[in-house]
Amino acid sequence: MPEIFPLLKKQDIDNMVSSLAQRISDDYRGRKLVLVGILKGSFVFLSDLMRRLTIPVQVDFIGASSYGSSTSTSGNIHLTKKLEIDVKDKDVLIVEDIVDTGLTLSHIIEHIKSFTPKTVKICTLLDKPERREAKINIDYSCHVVVQKGFLVGYGLDYAEDYRNLPEICRLKF
Ligand code: IMP
Ligand code: MG
């Protein structure tokens, strides 16, 4: 079993999510937003974020998968759940748990743009730029991860385990 080391405590996460929700609410004041969470990892972050937004929102999810039980993206992304809300002419904010290579997100951005929304922006809990392969413009990020390593908890998994941890932790194999 890998060892687990805490990286961001519950209070740190709460503070980060609250200040991001404030920024987003300010930026979209007077508008209505469609939040599109990328399953499965984003669901914990999205549920905390949406309850702190002070603007009207709709919520949908898109399912994407590329990992087996390894710790690096294959680049071979397939959609496991489609959008149900018609996002044509709407303001869309994609909500991701962590952007690593960026391959998953770039695939999803193109997919969502094919429905001709008015705007598409990107919000991620964690930005891990070290292994970035696709050029992604991240509009909102709670925390940039500088150290190497694989993170779990607060929705993030390793082979489907650890999503329920309230803190964000680093795995040591
Ligand atoms: P990317 O396509 O390499 O950017 O990978 C993005 C997806 O891989 C994220 O949505 C996560 O689900 C997963 N992922 C990337 N890095 C980590 C990590 O450190 N822990 C858990 N999941 C990760
Ligand atoms: Mg994910």
Domain boundaries, the chain: 9-67+75-149
Active site residue: 91, 100, 127, 157, which one?
A: 100
9 band by pLDDT with thresholds 50, 70 and 90? very high
Check pocket membership of 99 for ligand 1, CB cut-off 6 A: yes
Q: Which atom of ligand 1 is nearest to the CA of 101?
A: 3
Check pocket membership of 168 for ligand 1, CB cut-off 6 A: no
Residue 100 is among the residues annotated as catalytic for this protein = yes
67 band by pLDDT with thresholds 50, 70 and 90? low
Question: Distance (Å, rounded) from C-alpha 52 to C-alpha 76?
Answer: 34
CATH, range 9-67+75-149:
3.40.50.2020
**Closest Cα to residue 93, out of 139, 48, 35, 38?**
35
User: Does the structure show a pLDDT above 90 at 158?
Assistant: yes
pLDDT in tens, 23-54: 999 999 999 999 999 999 999 999 999 999 99
**Chain centroid to CA 27:** 19
